[in-house]
Amino acid sequence: MTDKDSKAMKAQKASEKATVKMHNDVTASLDQLEHPGTKAPKGSDVVKHKAVSATKSAAHGSGSKSKKKK
């Protein structure tokens, strides 16, 4: 393995780690929006699943709910 390959692998690992951290932060934020006043357990797959489901539900229903009839 060359020095260039080593640097590329380190950069990729750092990028993946940052992506996971950002995902966890966003998940915690979404959970706080859903359930204010409660603290979500860190790293919980259930919390991640709920946040993804809530995001999909909100995105799916947002078009019809935000339009007003005149």
pLDDT in the model for residue 28: 93
pLDDT in tens, 12-45: 999 999 999 999 999 999 998 888 877 656 555 5
CA 16 to chain CA centroid, Å, is 13
pTM of the model: 0.45
d(CA 36, CA 29): 10
